[in-house]
Homo-oligomer: A and B are copies of this chain.
Amino acid sequence: MTKPLFLHPDRLFPADPTIRAIARTLYAEVKDLPIISPHGHTDPRWFAENENFANPTDLLIVPDHYVFRMLYSQGVGLEELGIASKDGTQVETNPRKIWRRLAEHYHLFRGTPSRMWLDWVFVEMFGLDVRLEPATADLYYDTIDAALATPAFKPRALFESNNIELLATTESPLDPLIHHRAIRESGWGGRVVTAYRPDPVVDPEHDGFAANLIRFGEMAGEDISTWEGYLNAHRNRRAFFRAAGATSTDHGHPSAATADLSHTDAEALYAKVLAGRASAAEAELFRAQMLTEMARMSIDDGMVLQIHPGVLRNHNPSLMARFGRDKGADIPTPTDYVRALKPLLDAHGSDPRLSIILFTLDETSYSRELAPLAGHYPSLRIGPPWWFNDSPEGMRRFREQVTETAGFYNTVGFNDDTRAFLSIPARHDVARRMDCVWLAQLVAEHRLEEDEAHEVARALAYDLVKAAYKL
């Protein structure tokens, strides 16, 4: 006997009737605001080519590291999930079989955001009304597969039906941005912009760094054999990205370290990096220096600088060897901000033209470092709960630990940060609900007036993100 599946209209609202009633009122006014997705990892090709998605498995399992990491943790090999191998391992190619595997293990997701996002997609997008379990796996597969073939499920149609006002993707400086150009030239009205993510040409430890630099110089038409030429190549590519709508840059470094070397020292360091002779410490110093250089360029060109630090990438080397990067084996590390950011902030922290958005996976920094820093420096804002903390409890902790020192106006609304396109509205819905819950609690405890809460709810859902990302 199958179990019914439906989305309760009060989901995520506290049981307390007073708070719930206030939360409902607040949420009613923000739930239909357009979605601004200022940072994420969807594929611009989807919107350029507007092809239908292939099948349920390729859309909902294979690209979603939240999903396959949980299955992997309970003994399901990535080869059983159709993840392409690098070492010739045979992988499952039957998407229906893979879908059944998800159904068999769907109980693992109880209490997780993945479960909430997937159920939202199942109900809201595909009209499913029974729970995913082995008995309903085929019904799910067939229903979703059939829907995906229809015009309503083409990327542009979904963009529009999901009330997305703007979507930012993230590209390397080496990306020619042909899809973004195609989108602009297509005449379609959807706003899909890019963001400048220069890790492949900034991180000396990045795969293929040396070759990347050569290509970088070629694309920019700059001589990257000198420090000045290298910086100019960034200026050039940033301008190219801005022309494709970019208003932000993004930096995924192992730490939040910054540096502010003399021109001579920076030049010498770059020479070592260029020659492939940089030690691990020098690679870290180069990344650190480049954050400060990026800040200087931001002062000039107005791009908002995002820092996403503190992840030990590819923690599992055998998995990395067999399946490559981004396979759910990235693990957060303790992350310092107060000393790490000092060189950059010493140089430019009070410059009104600079805007830096800080993210963290180390929640201990919320009350100890990020809120005190953002509550002082005019250039700093705190990004929303990220990755493992993009969750109801993560959002609750964020507001509880950040608000009292930094207020609401040093935060920047929500980022979905996802490559799972269908889940974007689900994620924004969770964020809007959880923000309304926090505001409702403040109102119920007479810590904020209701009219103010309405204003803040709207700011968190829409206004702050536009302001922070200059959209």
Contacts and interface: CB of A to CB of B under 8 A. Distances in A.
Interface of A: 3, 7-8, 10-16, 18-19, 69-70, 72-75, 107-113, 116, 131, 312, 315-319, 328-334, 336, 338-339, 342, 345-346, 349-350, 352, 361-364, 367-369, 371-378, 380, 388-389, 391-394, 397, 400-401, 403-410, 441-442, 444-449, 451-452, 455-456
B373 A331 contact: yes
B456 A75 contact: no
A445 to B, nearest CB: 6
Given A70-B375, A109-B407, 6 more contacts: A10-B446, A14-B445, A69-B376, A110-B448, A112-B403, A392-B447
A109, A316, A362, A374 interface centre (most CB from chain B within 10 Å): A316
A338 B375 CA distance: 30
Contacts of A18: 15
Contacts of A445: 10-15, 392
Given A73-B374, A369-B332, A375-B69, A108 B407 contact: yes
Nearest to A69: B376
A81 B332 CA distance: 41
A417 to B, nearest CB: 15
Given A404-B394, A445-B14, A447-B392, A73 B331 contact: no
Nearest to A449: B3
Nearest to A360: B368
A310 to B, nearest CB: 9
A13 B300 CA distance: 49
10 contacts: A10-B446, A14-B445, A70-B407, A110-B448, A111-B403, A116-B447, A329-B376, A363-B367, A388-B404, A392-B447
A388 B366 CA distance: 11
A368 B335 CA distance: 10
Contacts of A389: 367
Contacts of A330: 372
A408 B361 CA distance: 21
Contacts of A449: 3, 131
* Closest 10 pairs (CB-CB, A-B): A8-B446, A11-B446, A15-B444, A15-B18, A391-B404, A111-B403, A332-B368, A388-B405, A331-B338, A331-B372
